[in-house]
A and B are shown apart, each in its own frame.
Chain A
Amino acid sequence: MADEGKSEMTLPASDDHKKYNETRRTFLKQSSLLTAVALTPPGMLQIVELEEKVDEQFESVKVTLEINGETKELSVEPRETLLDLLRERLDLTGTKKGCDYGQCGACTVHVDGQRINACLAFVIMQEGKKITTIEGLSKGATLHPMQEAFMKHDGFQCGYCTPGQIMSAVACIQEGHANSKEEIREYMSGNLCRCGAYPNIVKAIEEVKNGGAKG
């Protein structure tokens, strides 16, 4: 373990983290048989944030990230996905769960400016990253031109895939993949819409690409 001191461990830093890791390993093997609090390392409970609704964090680790411009210090289970964090703990339910397996695009958010599927991202792996969700897209009361264009062109029906479509559409233009209808359709194909609003979504993207939505 000579080099492990150079590892950026996300568990609480301590001199005897080696021992700590071993304890945790044993712990993990037993965890299903034991209650959580008893073996949770001291100090863990204090990390809990006010906005969390669960007051005892099993296997929690600390993470700091920026969500919609706000720095968040959170303690999360390693298995917690960005999608579940947003929806179940931060009340940012604009990011939708459609499949939970990266097969529909409803959970599309931007991480450091790139569109990704939040259902396939562990929160703990986003340490230090900037996350933008649909709630952070508009500037105050002023909607993003893509949001305006979706309304004008009726780019949705039930509205459930819509935040994902919009986040994806904004990225699609930024990436330079909105130069023709065909290209838009190809690069938006990771966002399913079961209502079939596709033709209107394409119109909305074309309009924003060509200078923004008006009216």
Chain B
Amino acid sequence: MEKASLQQIQIGDPLNRVEGQLKVTGKAKYAAEYNLSGVTFGVMVTSTIAKGRIKSMDTKLAKKAPGVLAVITHKNAPEVPGYKAAVNNEGARVYGQEFRLFYDDQIHHNYQPIALVVADTLARANEAASMVKVQYEQETHHTDISRNLDQAIQPARPEDYSRGEEDAYLTAPVKVVHEYHTPIQVHNPMETHATTAVWEADNKITVYNKTQATKISQQEIMKAFDLKEENVQAHSPFVGGAFGSSSRLWPQEMAAILGAKVVGRPVQVVLKRDQVFNMVGYRPPSRQKVGIGASAEGKLIGITHEGYGITSRYEQFTERMMDPTKSMYHCPNLNAKYRLVPLDMSTPCWTRGPGETSGSFALESAMDELAYALNMDPLSLRMKNYADKDPENELPWSSNYLKECYKQGAERFGWQKRNPTPRSMRSGEWQVGMGMASGIYKAVRDRAVARAKLLSDGSVLVQSAVADVGPGSATIFTQIAADVMGTSIEKTRFEWGDSSLPHAPGQFGSHTTASVGSAVYDVCTALKQKIQELAVNQKGSSLQGAQATNVVFENASIRLKNGTTSLTYSDFLQQQQLPSLEVIKESDGGPLLEKYSGKSFCANFVEVRVHSVTGEVRVQRVVSAVDAGKIMNHKTAQSQVYGAVVWGIGIALMEEGLIDHRYGRHVNNDLAEYHVPVHADVPDIEVILIDKEDPVIDPMGAKGIGEIPLVGFTAAIANAVYHATGQRIRNLPITPAKLIS
């Protein structure tokens, strides 16, 4: 018996990451780490005003600086055919005119790239970039959401939503209505945005790119430069974190491509940390108002939720801020309105739980406030208003184990021991508070294609263009393939992260497992079927004439259910006189999905300590109970929940992009002043994975897990802080400054 057979892998096993060794040894190559022969370095010069035009740009000194190969500005940039094409918003993910790099003299936002300096070393490019002198003609800018709410527009999409009577909460016996604010938050992945571009020929390009979507990257470059699909390759197997920020084409990609065109050598462009704050997306700030009314017994009567986000002047970036409100609770009357304030800023972009994270802060804080107004336990209030079907569209849930999340989460956390009275719990000088919140997030599936190959050594190779920016997708796809094929992990290989591989959607929106995982599952199933068909038709084979139902695939071989003789995959190929056997399969959810509402759910329980004198908040304990369908890998799934919780701690307690509106310029744009959580901020986190199959969305039974634990989490902290201190902070982040004032 093969040794490998001892290590038969199944879906769900807590397998170590397949790319783990590359990552712990420093051998995993990220976008700026290919050190290609002849590579040159591009550094962007960015604007220091928020609005106006470039009057003049003096690049003479920079051009003469040692090692400088080119200085590219709007005056001399190569033409980008796609920039001249008419705007087509049909199906576009963001409505409007995309930002056009080095296109004209207009300044749309601070930190707008206005020149690229390319030199033979990074240090020289950096120095020369500082020598470019710019004169501007400034115009009045507006960057403050609060002062420009009256300029808000109704975005082209989505439409306002309502059911039942408008503002019905006003008529309810018990009601709360409050405003909630969230600030700009910035993804700040550890790797800043980076691209190395190489023109292989006049009409053929390779980009080593930081992207969550190699196919989107490829298609957008094709469109911009009018190139054929086979002539654009986006290579992105390793991405140093993205969280939504690498899901469209950004200036550093365009700059590297244009730079490489000009200098005729590979160009590498890596953004500096300050440049990522207002150039390559951020979570827009929000201003929200939530009114909720309930009967004296706590049955919801009406919810009104109004929210404002911001966008740039040239595009309408919209979020799903209202989505949790629409579907979370059974509530007959609900109206939700979402507006955008266009400002002189770069376009925001999707940020982990885009919209849901900000929207759920308001909704789940308001629910907590309602619970106190009702003198009711916050968990009981939520359980009482559990929705049996999706109230947004009356569709049955594809699966819903939210009640299990509540039950198991509360038990593990010890919610019953909580004294409901605010300010009632203490540990020395620390006020102790316990809070909870619910979360809901779409669980959907997109079209994906996968290729599976049985190779002569009996191993299986599966390929997809999908990225793996950290969730562990490559590992679980290897695992799905091994499970379906009956192969060991050593004999199963998954290739990803390159646009030349079969189509995959972007790795965002928590739909990668359902989409690509299904394609992997389906293509391996198809490969097995093909093996079986060939094997049972093979004269002289021990399997000749066997029924499909009577065949078993395990230990990298095929055998009859009750038989003892088995045929290894490699012997099978030999028998068939095939060098390999390949199947490509496209997978899609199909019409069944439209008959159901697919969502993931969670219940978060948080204990905080607030120092009674200094106002410092420390998260002491977290229990996160998550219904994300069947879990593909318990180890990586748990890590996803950790990640969401750490994000929640950051957003709740410290993250805030600060702009001095006089200059329309970020001031805390580095990692010393824009705080993300450090080790010391993160306590033990208990993760409960309900791990029940969803029968609708995909054949593995999985739903998404990357975002759901973050939905509502910030409110759970705010609710805990209220319980600890009696202070309701409705304006994130919750800082000592706010708590002691």
Contact = CB atoms under 8 A, between A and B. Distances in A.
Interface of A: 31-33, 35-36, 53-54, 58, 77, 79-80, 84, 87-88, 91-101, 103-104, 106, 133-135, 137-138, 143, 147, 150-152, 154, 156-163, 166, 181, 184-186, 188-202
Contact of A87 (B25, B33, B191): B33
Contacts of A163: 24, 26
Given A158-B469, A198-B682, A192 B190 contact: yes
B25 A138 contact: yes
7 contacts: A31-B66, A98-B190, A98-B273, A104-B190, A151-B20, A152-B16, A185-B680
Contacts of B35: 53, 88, 91, 93
Interface stretch (B73-81, B154-162, B515-523, B643-651): B643-651
Contacts of A91: 35
B29 A166 contact: no
B679 A188 contact: yes
Interface stretch (B118-126, B217-225, B574-582): B118-126
B672 A103 contact: yes
A96 B38 CA distance: 21
B240 interface: yes
Given A96-B240, A158-B469, A196-B682, A151 B64 contact: no
- Would you list the 7 A-B pairs with minimal beta carbon distance, nearest first? A94-B26, A196-B646, A160-B240, A159-B23, A157-B470, A158-B470, A196-B643
Contact of B190 (A92, A100, A106, A137): A106
A79 B124 CA distance: 10
Nearest to B475: A154
Given A157-B470, A199-B642, A99 B240 contact: no
Contacts of A135: 25-27
A190 B472 CA distance: 25
Contacts, number: 197
Nearest to A150: B24
A88 B34 CA distance: 9
B678 interface: yes
B interface: dominant SS: loop
B425 to A, nearest CB: 22
A104 B673 CA distance: 11
A186 B121 CA distance: 37
Interface in B100-138: 120-124, 131
Contacts of B647: 196
B645 A191 contact: no
Nearest to A88: B122
Given A195-B190, A196-B639, 11 more contacts: A31-B66, A32-B131, A53-B35, A88-B122, A101-B672, A135-B27, A156-B23, A158-B239, A163-B26, A188-B679, A198-B679
Contacts of B680: 185-186, 189
B109 to A, nearest CB: 22
A184 B683 CA distance: 12
B21 interface: yes
Contacts of A160: 30, 189-191, 240-241
Interface of B: 16-17, 19-30, 33, 35, 37-39, 41, 61, 64-67, 120-124, 131, 187-192, 238-243, 270, 272-273, 469-472, 635-636, 638-640, 642-647, 670-672, 676-680, 682, 684-685
> Which of A36, A98, A157 has most chain B Cβ within 10 Å?
A157
B165 to A, nearest CB: 42
Contact of A32 (B65, B469, B646, B685): B65
B671 A79 contact: no
B66 A35 contact: yes
B291 to A, nearest CB: 34
Contact of A93 (B29, B41, B472): B29
A100 to B, nearest CB: 7
A98 B644 contact: no
Contacts of B242: 158
Contacts of A95: 26
Contact of A162 (B24, B239, B672): B24
Contacts of A198: 642, 646, 677, 679, 682
Contact of B33 (A93, A137, A138, A154): A93
A183 to B, nearest CB: 10
A194 B676 contact: yes
Given A96-B191, A151-B17, A194-B190, A157 B672 contact: no
B682 A161 contact: no
A159 to B, nearest CB: 3
Contacts of A190: 678
A80 B241 contact: no
Nearest to B15: A154
A40 to B, nearest CB: 10
Given A188-B679, A196-B642, A33 B23 contact: no
B191 A154 contact: no
A127 B677 CA distance: 35
Contacts of B638: 154
A144 to B, nearest CB: 9
Contacts of B239: 158
B25 A94 contact: yes
Given A54-B120, A98-B191, A134 B26 contact: yes
Given A32-B61, A154-B636, A80 B682 contact: no
B190 A200 contact: no
A135 B28 CA distance: 11
B27 A159 contact: no
Contacts of A104: 190, 671
Contacts of B39: 53
A100 B273 contact: yes
Contact of B28 (A32, A133, A159, A185): A159
B67 A54 contact: yes
Contacts of B25: 94, 134-135, 137-138, 143, 147
A175 to B, nearest CB: 15
A112 to B, nearest CB: 20
B189 A194 contact: yes
A28 to B, nearest CB: 12
Contact of B678 (A100, A133, A189): A189
B670 A195 contact: no
Contacts of A199: 642, 682, 684-685
Nearest to A87: B33
A117 B676 CA distance: 19
A202 B120 contact: no
Contacts of A96: 30, 190-191, 240
Contacts of B27: 94, 135
Contacts of B643: 157, 195-197
B67 A58 contact: yes
A61 to B, nearest CB: 14
Contact of A58 (B22, B23, B26, B66): B66
Nearest to B191: A160
A108 to B, nearest CB: 12
Given A36-B66, A154-B639, A195 B470 contact: yes
B676 A98 contact: no
Nearest to B20: A151
A146 to B, nearest CB: 8
